[in-house]
Amino acid sequence: MDIDVRGPRFGAAVTTALLAVVLITGSVWLLAWQTLAFALGAAGGVGRSPYGWLFRTAVRPRIGPPSEFEAPEPPRFAQAVGLVFAGLGLVGYTLGPQWLGLAAAGAALAAAFLNAAFGYCLGCEMYLLVRRATVRAQ
């Protein structure tokens, strides 16, 4: 079943704000929260992430029904990519080197910002490239 395209963009906006705070403050706890949010989104789909739940319960009822839908697999893959970067950021912030935490959190922030501001999902594009390559190889 396809999903409302506004949900992942809302999640990306929340992620953008949270990762900006992580970069400003160096908060390992906030980055750990974001890592958990990515893990839940990768495991169960964006609708099962905390931001998906917040969108579904608090935002969507106020903005009306969706006019656009998308397949759930690309955003779910994007959550897995975010999980990798957030995990690397956690390693960098907790075990070192510090630059790894900053770079990984910064890369995740850049990707989230592109999705939130412009609707361009880097992880979704990666999914589509991998899928096309897999289909061609068969």
Q: Report which of 132, 133, 110 is spatially closest to residue 121, judged by C-alpha positions.
A: 110
Q: Report which of 101, 86, 106, 72 is spatially closest to residue 36, judged by C-alpha positions.
A: 86
Per-residue pLDDT reduced to its tens digit, 87-118: 999 999 999 999 999 999 999 999 999 999 99
Q: State pTM to two decimals.
A: 0.94
Q: Where are the domains of the chain?
A: 3-137
Q: What's at 89, amino acid-wise?
A: G
Strand blocks (E) in the chain: 3-4, 69-70
Per-residue pLDDT reduced to its tens digit, 12-71: 999 999 999 999 999 999 999 999 999 999 999 999 999 999 999 999 999 999 999 999
